[in-house]
Chains A and B, each alone.
Chain A
Amino acid sequence: MASGADVIRRIKDQIEEVDPKEVRDLSQNGNGNAPVIVDVREQHEFEEAHLPGAIHVPRGHLESRIEGAVSDRSQPVVLYCASGNRSALAAHTMQELLGYEDVASMRGGITLWKDRGYEVEVPRALTGEQRERYSRHLLVPEIGLEGQMKLLDARVLLLGAGGLGSPAALYLAAAGVGTIGIVDNDVVDLSNLQRQVAHSNDRIGMPKVDSAEVSIHEINPDVNVEKHPVRLGADNIMEIVEGYDVIVDGLDNFPTRYLLNDASVRLQIPVVSASILGFEGQLSVFHPYEGPCYRCLYPTPPPAELAPSCGAAGVLGVLPGVMGLLQSVEVIKLVTGAGDTMAGRLLLYDALGTTFTELKVRRDPECPICSREPDSISDDEMGVFPDYELFCAGAG
């Protein structure tokens, strides 16, 4: 019977081993052929320190997770562990059983790497409780520890804690968004509870910002809630939205939507926008200077008779839930950088027919706001649109 050491020796003969210096040179020259560096050690070892840019796939989960991390089997991959044994075994598995064509194991592991004085990354760590709470995020390669840290550092502002803001507040809190700001000057009303799931029967009459805070903390006590119990207006918008990373727009009127657009372009904050009526919803992301703004899509609002509110026209209670959660997904993607956002696209959802229609939204090269430098947009222009006076008079 061969000893364990014999097996490792034999396997090392069957795979390619590379020296830490070679790994460092390859990953630094950045000519596009840089290998993916995979740390196959255990979670706590990875969290102590790892090679810069390394992704983490513990050897025990190699077969089930490596394809999620490295989907292209011709992609050069360098594996490492503490001293080079576990990574040799993992390289053998990837080469012989999983069909990866260019796998190597780093000789001497991170121990030799450090002995050479090469740089390591010391990641911020989650607490044990956080690791448990966010474990399903940590398992998704597109989010992982890095994405979760970004979520924990993120500051997201919800404009309204109503139909759209409620589901967004609950799910973004659950997802671990570190700071959630809420702008709402309304109080909870019985007629809200058909759809505004952040509130409850026993909180009727309570300010919505306070009621939403209670629900957020019931789900995730670590979330820092910033309450703005005011009506958003030209006099306070810049002060309120500044410093947030993403804005979730659930506003119920056009003048404030234009005002928000102009402020977000000036401050270069992406806005995840949704609107709902009856059985239909619209969704888009307005990412200043990377995609169109709200004014590129809608240069001017419709007359008041063509812009009924839910209060007047009604809405299926579940619909803002669907749209608010689609907004939340966009927020998570903007924060973590995963996937493609809805910037430059408009989604129309028809709940009655269950149809999704996607339209292209282009930047308007003559847009009165986002065709200009952010600093050149003056206070006087904010929120103004053609026929503004007439519109506001009509909306009464």
Chain B
Amino acid sequence: MSTVKIPPVLRASTGGAKEIEASGANVGDVLRSLAEQHPATESQLFSEGGDLNRYVNVYLNDEDVRVLDGLDTGVSESDTIVILPAMAGGCR
């Protein structure tokens, strides 16, 4: 099982959980496993074609998967996946 860190804006979709254990051989499998456990996350992570949404950054440990093999990047048990949508605030 890998650990997926859930950003604040997605926690409503994971019942408030900040970290989810999910299994899979690559980043895409792990995220799809997350989406199976918490279906509300699916549309936020994936576009209709099954690709990662452009506004969601995903990191394997500290490296952006866009510079690795994207969703095909291999994952081992001890890895942490960080989901990071952009945050805008600022607080007036």
Whether chains A and B associate is yes
B80-92 contact mask (Cβ, 8 Å, vs A): 1 or 0: 0010111111111
Q: Specify which chain B residues have a CB less than 8 angstroms from the CB of A288 in the assembled complex.
A: none
Q: Which of A280, A353, A386 has the most CB of B within 10 A?
A: A280
- Chain A residue with the shortest CB-CB distance to B92: A162
Q: Is the CB of A163 within 8 A of B91?
A: yes
**How many Å from the CB of B48 to the closest CB on chain A?**
14
Q: Is the CB of A386 within 8 A of B54?
A: yes
- Of A97-105, A117-125, A250-258, the stretch lying at the interface with chain B is A250-258
Q: Within the assembled complex, what's the spacing in Å between the Cα atoms of A275 and B91? A: 8
- Of B22-30, B60-68, B71-79, the stretch lying at the interface with chain A is B60-68
- The reply to whether the CB of A68 lies closer than 8 angstroms to some CB of chain B is no
**How many Å from the CB of A181 to the closest CB on chain B?**
17
Q: Is the CB of A361 within 8 A of B90?
A: no
Known contacts A297-B57, A358-B62, A359-B62; is-contact A302 B90 (Cβ 8 Å): no
Q: Is the CB of B89 within 8 A of A276?
A: yes
**How many Å from the CB of A179 to the closest CB on chain B?**
23
Name the contact of B90 in the complex, choosing from A192, A250, A362 (C-beta under 8 A). A250
Q: Is the CB of B57 within 8 A of A298?
A: yes
Residues 251 to 310 of chain A near chain B (Cβ within 8 Å): 251-254, 257, 275-280, 282, 297-303, 306-310
Chain B, interface size category, equals 20 to 34
Chain A, interface size category, equals 35 or more
Known contacts A162-B91, A164-B90; is-contact A307 B62 (Cβ 8 Å): no
Q: Is the CB of B88 within 8 A of A252?
A: yes
Q: Within the assembled complex, what's the spacing in Å between the Cα atoms of A362 and B66? A: 10
Q: Specify which chain A residues have a CB less than 8 angstroms from the CB of B50 in the assembled complex.
A: none
Q: Is the CB of B87 within 8 A of A276?
A: yes
Known contacts A358-B62, A362-B64, A362-B67; is-contact A309 B89 (Cβ 8 Å): yes
- The reply to whether the CB of A315 lies closer than 8 angstroms to some CB of chain B is yes
- Chain A residue with the shortest CB-CB distance to B87: A275
Q: Within the assembled complex, what's the spacing in Å between the Cα atoms of A362 and B64? A: 8
**How many Å from the CB of B8 to the closest CB on chain A?**
5
- The reply to whether the CB of A160 lies closer than 8 angstroms to some CB of chain B is yes
Q: Specify which chain B residues have a CB less than 8 angstroms from the CB of A44 in the assembled complex.
A: none
Q: Specify which chain B residues have a CB less than 8 angstroms from the CB of A357 in the assembled complex.
A: 5, 62, 82
Q: Specify which chain B residues have a CB less than 8 angstroms from the CB of A360 in the assembled complex.
A: 59, 62-64
Name the contact of A257 in the complex, choosing from B8, B67, B88 (C-beta under 8 A). B88
| Residues of chain B having any CB pair with chain A under 8 Å | 5, 7-10, 18, 44, 53-57, 59, 62-64, 67, 82, 84-92
| Residues of chain A having any CB pair with chain B under 8 Å | 160, 162-164, 186, 192, 195, 250-254, 257, 275-280, 282, 297-303, 306-311, 315, 320, 346, 348, 350, 353, 357-362, 386
